[in-house]
Amino acid sequence: MKGLKFGMGVNDIFSMLLRWIVPAVLFIGAITVGFLILYKLIYRKFLQGNKKVSWTKFILSILLTGYLFIVFAITTLSRSANFDNQFNLNLISGFLDVWNNWSLTSFLLLVYNLVVLSPLGILLPFISRKFQSIKNIFLFSVGFTLLIESYQWVTHRGIFELDDLVHNTIGALSGYLIIKLILSYKQESKIRYNSIISAAIIPFFYACLFVGAIFSYHSQEFGNMSIRPSIGTDMSNVSVSSQIALSQESRLLPIYYDVNANQPELALNIISKLQRSIPLPLVKSSGRDGDNKQYSFEITNDSSYHLTYFTREGTWSLFDELVDTTKELTDEATGQKIEHLLKENSFIPSDAELKIDQNGTFRWDAPNVDPSEYSKDFLNGMVMVDVTDTGKISNLSFDLIENKFIRNAQVISPSDAFEKIKKGKFDSYNSRKPYRMGDQIKITGMKLMYQYDSKGYYQPVYEFDGSLNDEVSRFSVRIPALP
């Protein structure tokens, strides 16, 4: 039931919820009007029926219907038809997603999957006595999840994922067990130990799971790589060959560390430096977008500044949304002022020289370094600054990363990495279409690259490129070089 996707922030999730609230209100409003017409005019007046309606149960039914409408809309109608009848029968793929990405967003998506149907287990027992049985809660939640998963599969709006079915059902059962504990206490004025154990066992299991994952994560030296497979790819009917020679020798390669990674507190230090150097107003509000920090500054007559701090990388971007970007200063004197500002705040090295690119942007690019051969501290990335015709900074993009050499580590050989491709040890979500019987993948290129992991370590990876059924540039995959 993954209507949400990795990369979405918390703000995106709430925006999606708000988007469907009005349609949900209209939907339950139509149901309410229809029911009242059928009950008041037809059943009571024309058919002379005397069976009374429990309006409390009716209101709960309407609320639950509206909620399920929103869940259905988010998980199906909010997606485009980009998938191709895929099944994911891996029961732990959701946990592997969280482990490989190790981010707040991925964690929230898993929690969303676990709690999204808990209102079913909470409200259904109040609506009908039939649902005071855990068996019927189980059947209803399985049926509703199957409806969504099947709809996603048939309409190509998603893939059928077995772990979604399990997580959604567990969430509904957990809600039921918790409400059952509360009701039994109200009825008997005491708490039975078996009810406590039943209500606590599911949350306790997941709490232990998350605590164990956190302990394991912090005890390992390096971070997790998002390119490691959570589902894998079925390559049983695919022919994979290499048109290039691949070495079978493993070797030692340097590992680096982004010294500013995962330190959100640095954002305030950066803001303080900027406020001492440019007329940057006080912070008006702050928030989060996934793992990133966002700051908005007080609006003045001629500025509306916003700063986004990218926590994973330790980079940031400041921009003013009120300025006219078509009129910019590019003269040498302005460049010298900007260069002084950047050096004064240690944003660029003291010997750096700003250049002006073809777009009229002042920029400094770190020297190109081959990290596989360097084995010393180095910078990579760039700093770019745009200045308006009034001398104001309209955009300051700090994409410079300070890498510290850690040590050399043994990596797998290119040949071993190629074997992982043949065995399907990668996720092929980019294509969103499964490989078919008779498909042919020919590897025509391989290069050693580096990629940051979840802790900020700069790790070597092998990037393979090739053709799919002789269509050039249709296949590309990265395989981690560390075992």
Beta bridge partners of 172: none
2: confidence class by pLDDT, cuts 50, 70, 90:
low
379: confidence class by pLDDT, cuts 50, 70, 90:
very high
pLDDT tens string 129-142 = 899 999 999 999 99
CA 237 – CA 405 distance, rounded (Å): 43
Residue 338 neighbours by CB distance under 10 Å: 22
Taking each helix axis from N to C end, the angle separating 55-72 and 134-155, rounded to the nearest 10 degrees, works out to 30
pTM over 0.85, yes/no: yes
Q: Average pLDDT, stretch 381-405?
A: 95
pLDDT tens string 204-233 = 999 999 999 999 999 999 999 999 999 899
Residue 447 has pLDDT above 70, yes or no: yes
pLDDT computed for residue 6 by the predictor: 45
16: confidence class by pLDDT, cuts 50, 70, 90:
confident
**What is the DSSP-derived secondary structure letter of residue 131?**
G
pLDDT tens string 136-169 = 999 999 999 999 999 999 998 888 999 999 999 9
Take residue 95 and report the two structure tokens written for it: 């946990």
- Return the SS3 of 98: helix
pLDDT tens string 170-198 = 999 999 999 988 888 777 767 778 878 88
pLDDT computed for residue 46 by the predictor: 66
404: confidence class by pLDDT, cuts 50, 70, 90:
very high
79: confidence class by pLDDT, cuts 50, 70, 90:
confident
pLDDT tens string 261-287 = 999 999 999 999 999 999 999 999 999
7: confidence class by pLDDT, cuts 50, 70, 90:
very low
Residue 13 has pLDDT above 70, yes or no: no
39: confidence class by pLDDT, cuts 50, 70, 90:
confident
How buried is 78 (Cβ within 10 angstroms: 0-12 exposed, 13-18 middle, 19+ buried)? middle
Q: Average pLDDT, stretch 448-469?
A: 97
Residue 73 has pLDDT above 70, yes or no: yes
Residue 325 has pLDDT above 80, yes or no: no
CA 338 – CA 326 distance, rounded (Å): 19
Cβ(462)–Cβ(421) below 8 Å: no
CA 143 – CA 111 distance, rounded (Å): 21
CA 434 – CA 84 distance, rounded (Å): 7
* Region of residue 472 (phi > 0: left; psi between -120 and 50: alpha; otherwise: beta): beta
Computed over every residue of the chain, the mean pLDDT equals 90
